[in-house]
Amino acid sequence: MSELIRSMPVLQVVDVAASEAFYLNRLGFTSHGLWGEPPAFCIVQRGQVTIALDGSRDGAPVPLNQYWAAYVYVDDADALLTEFNAAGVEIVRGLEDMPYGLRDFDIRDLDGHVICFGHDLAPVANGPGLASPAA
């Protein structure tokens, strides 16, 4: 059986170039480049995390999730919140130790997508957000 190794959220955005700039300049990602003219698609990356920014087609409104569009595990949520505050990122919810064992906070991007960033309060050997495989 093949292993699943990583996933990449795909967020629909109104203006791919503007969203790319937000993720680069405010959230500290790097870009794999813009595709299309005008830009219709982009992949941004920070560490091992990638997010695709997909331009809305035919003027369709950007769909929003019920709440989180993505959850990103980090090594230090406190330090990242300090970085995002300094960059002027909209913080939707400040740092909280949650009953599900994570310390996290939420931001909102240019298109209204809410993304949560958090770290494990009790890290496990498999890494953040991962449990031992069921027997």
pLDDT per position as a tens digit, 15-46:
999 999 999 999 999 999 999 999 999 999 99
- Whole-prediction pTM value? 0.89
Mean pLDDT of the chain: 91
- Those residues whose C-beta lies under 8 Å from the C-beta of residue 101, and which sit 6 or more positions away, are 120, 121, 122
Q: What is the pLDDT of residues 43-79, one digit of tens each?
A: 999 999 999 999 998 877 888 888 999 999 999 999 9
Cα 7 to Cα 4, 74, 97, 107, distances in angstroms: 8, 15, 25, 20
pLDDT, position 130: 66
Torsion of CA 65, 7, 40, 18, to 10 degrees: 70
Q: Which residue ranges form the domains of the chain, and what is each CATH number? A: 10-120 (3.10.180.10)
